[in-house]
Structure 1
């Protein structure tokens, strides 16, 4: 078997760019479905938007770290990292990982325990709950209708606020991403779209949640 070849700089940039485009498209779709009253589908797609946004930032971070340090490294290691981009739960955690103390501890636990992924699936499929490797035949039937307006609104708001934060940082500093084309996808064209969403998630606040995380760490110690 031949040795894997490293990803080209062109493909790093293109992957990040297309991922961010897809995140924005999915975010817009989730808002459209929310306004149409299709809250389970809206929730599901909002989580997908979250994942794609996290993927774009992750690729950008790896790319920029490589070009400003010692290059892209071993192709075999790169393969291991690229496989992580196919994991829904890894991308969900990547969304909060670099600023974990800014997010609600409850949200972080919800993601780490894979419950966000479970809820995303419940928003689409009818089925029975899994208990380990067994299907719980005595439990309630899971139905997408159990996903409510508040669920969709909160995740849409979370994604929207991240995009707004990036928009504002580009406006303030003239750049945010290491890959310049990503900045151009957000600023200035998305101003009206992003700032039209009137809701907040309540899941991110540096002042509010940092102390909670520190208290948890101290309590654990």
Structure 2
């Protein structure tokens, strides 16, 4: 049986979708409050999350980011907000699919089955909670922690390190850092990026010759692994 967490404050819609999906061997838990939804996700194992964006107390985009900090569970955004920016942000924050309201419940069923197939063989929600990393980016509170301890970073250091964390495992050029970090002037040189990287490494307590997190890539730039 597929177990679904539906974070949706439109109770009538949630009940309609639940009644339909239960015909297909699916169990749905409804949370009409985002904080209750996040709490349920920590306490129980689910196969997929259906997430509304317009929620009381905490915007659905922030809920999506919070989920992605600890879980790789598939997320379907179900929203009446049709703004392209919302859709782009939803995918940037880790959503797997975006379904604009109103829609036929049958379409939701198809999306759920498709995501479940794609997620087969990937890290389960239960396992993903055990994959806690040393460096954790919390954009909501604007902090980065190392082994649960907040790092004392300048604005530029925060921008660069947060970008590297978001692009973890990928090769990032110095030019990419300059153009994507707001605190870095576009007139900055590659050398200035190297200086900031050096300061970040010091705060991470790592040796540039044997780095644990930030690795220099000759002729390219840097990449972060953990």
Q: Which has the higher contact order (CA 8 A, sep 6+)?
A: 1
**TM-score, with length taken from structure 1:** 0.23
Q: Which of the pair is proportionally richer in helix?
A: 1
Q: Which of the pair is proportionally richer in strand?
A: 2
